[in-house]
Chains A and B, each alone.
Chain A
C-alpha cells in the first residue's frame, strides 16, 4: 500500500531544464529571476516566507520554545487531509489551496490548544507534551492519508507534497496566497513586537506590568502557525521548523540587541528562501524545501564560525590571546625573580617580544619589564590588603595593569608605602 506511493517531489525544474544549459548560468539566471515565470514566483514567495518565518521564529527562540513549532507543523497534516476529504465530498476539486490551508490552520490550532492544555493542566513537561501532540496528530494524519488513497486513485496527488513541499506547477494564485500570507504575518508582528519582546525576555515582569502573558504567548504561537501554514506548500511540514529555528539562531550570533536579532533573522530567512528556491530551480532533482534548509544551515555554520564575540573563531582567538597574556606575565615574573623558565611557549613568547633570548636570559628591555611586573605585583599586594581599595582589589585577576584601575596619585601613594630597595648594601 505504501509501496505504491512514489510521488516525485522535485519536478520544479523539469519545465525549464529541457535545454541542458550550464548549471552555473542557470543559477545566475535563477538568482536574477530570469528563469521563467514559475521560478520567479517560487523565489519571491520563498523569500517572503523566509523573512516572516525568521522574524516570527526569533520570538519563539528568545522564549526558549523553539520546538513548539515542530508540534504545530506536524499537527497540520490531519487538517489538510480532512479539508481535502470535505472538499471532495462536496464535489469540489479537493486541491484548492485556500481550503487546504484553512484546514491545516484549524488542526494546527487544535494541536496548539492540546499542547497548552497538557502543559498547564497536567504534570507533563513541555517537551513531552510537544512530542505527544506531534506524533499523535501526525500519526492520525497518516491514517487519513491512507484513507484518501483508497478514496479514488490519482485524486490524492499533491497531498504528499505537503510533507516535503512541492513547488512544481505552482500557480499564480498560490504564490499570491503565500505572498499575502507572509505580508500579513509581518504586519501582525510589527504590531505585536513590543509585548512579544517583553514576554520573551521576562514573562514575570510582563505579568507584573499587567500584560496578558498567556494571550500574548498564544498570539505568538498563532503567528508561528500562520507561517507554518503559509510555508506548507513551499518547504513542507517537516522542514518548516528549520525556517523558524535556524535563522534566529544564526542572527543571535551577531548581536546582543533583540530588535537587531529580529531584523537579521528576517534577513537570513529571506536570503535562504530566495537563494534556496533559485538553486532548486537551476538543476534537476534539487527539491526546494531541503535546499532552502541547507542554505539556511550554511549561513548558520558561517555565523557560528565567524561571528565576532559569540563565534567559535572569535572564542578561540580570545582564548589564545588570554593564554599569551598569562604566559607572558608569568614569564616576566619568573625573569624578575631569577627563576629559570622551562616552559617552551613562555620562552617563545618572551623571545618574540624581545624580552628574553632564546636560552631564557633576559634582555635589557626584558629586565626592565620584569622589574615593572614584579613591582606591579607588589603594588597589587598592598592594594588587596588595604580595605580602602576594596573596589579596586575586586578587579584583581593577575593580568590587569594596575594603571587601568588606580590613578597616578594612588599608585604613588602605594609606592611610597612599599618604599625603596631594602637590605641592599649601597
Chain B
C-alpha cells in the first residue's frame, strides 16, 4: 500500500487505536493486580447517561461537554457504588452491578425519549465507536507529516487521546513507588505514610479519564478489552511489575495494529467486499493474545499452586 493511500485513510485511525489501547492498558495493569478489573466495565457503561445528559443540556455533539458529562457520570457512579456498599452492606461486585446496569438503562431510556435523529448519537455508536471514520482528509502522503497546513486538519480525537496517554504515563511515572507498594501491600503502604485511599481513587480517576477519552474515539468495547486483556496476558509472562507493564504495552499495541489491519484488509484477502468492525476485531485479537499467554506463558500458574489439582 502506498503512502498516498495509507497516510490519509489508515495512519490516524491506527495511531488513535494504538494510543487508546496503551492509555487503557497502563492503568489496567494496576486495576488487574488490585482485583478491580471490572471498574473499566462499569465506567464504560455509566458514561452513556453522562453523554446523553450533556447532549440534552447543550444540544450539540461536541467533545468537551460530552467529556464533562461522562466524567460527571463516572463520579456519580463511584459515589453511588460506595453509598450502596456502605449503607446497604452489599458486596462490592453486586453494588457495582446494580449501579452500572441502572445507569445504562437510564441512558438508553433518555436516548429513546429524545429526538436524536438529526445527530449521530446512538447506543451502537457508544458500543463500537467509529474508529474507521477518523480519517485525515488533508493528507496526501508521507510528506504531509511535515506540512503544517495538513497537520492542522488532523482529527481532534488524535490530539485528545495522545494527551490522555501522556497523562496516564505521567501519573504512573510520578507515583510509581507508592502505586507499586500500595498495589502489592496496602497495609505496608499505610505504615509508610502513603495515603492509599487517595491513591486508589486517583487511579480510578485516571482510568476513568482514559476510558472516557478512548470511548469517544473507539467505543466502549475496546476500552473494556484493553483495561483487562493486555495486562492479564502480560501477567502470565513475567513476575516483575516493570516487565509486566512493558509486555502489556506491547500487547496493546499489537492488538490495536493487528486488529485494525485484519478488520480493514482481512475480509478483502478472504474475498469479501467490506471491512468489519475494527473495534470488535481489536478486542478479538487481544483475546487471542490472552488465550495464547494463558496456554503457553511462562508464569501462567499461581505461585505455589499445585501443578494439577
- Interface positions of A (Cβ within 8 A of B): 1-3, 5-7, 9-10, 61, 64-67, 69-70, 117-118, 120-125, 127-132, 134-147, 149-150, 160, 163-164, 238-239, 241-242, 245-246, 248-249, 252-253, 285-287, 289-291, 293-294, 297, 300, 304, 310, 312, 315
Contacts and interface: CB of A to CB of B under 8 A. Distances in A.
Given A9-B112, A135-B229, A142-B127, A312 B97 contact: no
Nearest to A143: B280
B138 to A, nearest CB: 21
Given A135-B229, A136-B229, A249-B88, A2 B125 contact: yes
B282 interface: yes
A61 to B, nearest CB: 6
A245 B102 CA distance: 11
Given A297-B98, A300-B98, A249 B133 contact: no
Contacts of B87: 304, 312, 315
B: contact size bracket: 35 or more
Contacts of B94: 61, 64, 66-67, 245, 248-249
Chief secondary structure at chain A's binding surface: helix
B14 to A, nearest CB: 17
A125 B125 CA distance: 31
B105 A142 contact: no
B233 to A, nearest CB: 9
Given A5-B124, A123-B300, A242-B101, A142 B112 contact: no
A80 to B, nearest CB: 14
B23 interface: no
A47 B124 CA distance: 28
A150 B279 contact: no
Q: Sorted from nearest, which 8 A-B pairs have the closest CB atoms?
A: A139-B283, A136-B287, A142-B280, A242-B101, A135-B225, A293-B105, A290-B105, A245-B97
A10 B228 CA distance: 33
B277 A294 contact: no
Given A128-B37, A132-B287, A290-B112, 6 more contacts: A70-B41, A142-B277, A150-B274, A238-B45, A242-B102, A310-B89
Contacts of B276: 143, 146-147, 150
Contact of A125 (B37, B91, B263): B37
A173 to B, nearest CB: 27
A300 B117 CA distance: 33
B47 interface: no
Contacts of A139: 221-222, 225, 279-284, 286-287
B109 A138 contact: no
Given A6-B122, A142-B277, A132 B89 contact: no
Interface of B: 32, 35-38, 40-41, 45, 84, 87-91, 93-98, 101-102, 104-106, 108-109, 112-113, 117, 120, 122-125, 127-130, 132-133, 221-222, 224-225, 227-229, 231-232, 235-236, 263, 267, 272-277, 279-284, 286-287, 290, 294, 299-303, 305, 309
- Chain B CB within 10 Å — which of A67, A142, A291, A315 has the most? A142
A129 B93 CA distance: 14
B105 A239 contact: yes
A138 B128 CA distance: 10
A125 B33 CA distance: 9
A9 B109 CA distance: 11
B124 A2 contact: yes
A217 B64 CA distance: 46
Contact of B277 (A145, A238, A242, A300): A145
Contacts of B112: 9-10, 285-287, 290
B32 A142 contact: no
A134 B41 contact: yes
Contacts of B303: 123
Given A122-B236, A123-B299, A141-B280, A293 B228 contact: no
Contacts of A7: 124
A174 B84 CA distance: 37
Given A10-B112, A128-B37, A146-B277, A241 B90 contact: no
Contact of A135 (B93, B105, B281, B287): B287
Contacts of A117: 294
14 contacts: A64-B91, A70-B38, A70-B41, A123-B235, A124-B294, A128-B232, A134-B224, A135-B283, A138-B283, A142-B277, A146-B276, A160-B124, A286-B109, A297-B102
- Chain B CB within 10 Å — which of A139, A147, A252 has the most? A139
B280 A132 contact: no
A125 B31 CA distance: 11
Nearest to B272: A150
A281 to B, nearest CB: 14
Contacts of A287: 108-109, 112
Contact of A67 (B38, B105, B132): B38
Contact of B301 (A123, A127, A245): A123
Contacts of B130: 2-3
Contact of B32 (A65, A128, A141, A150): A128
B221 A131 contact: no
B105 A163 contact: no
A140 B105 contact: no
Given A3-B130, A146-B276, A253 B88 contact: yes
Contact of B36 (A66, A127, A138, A297): A127
A142 B279 contact: yes
Contacts of B235: 123-124, 128
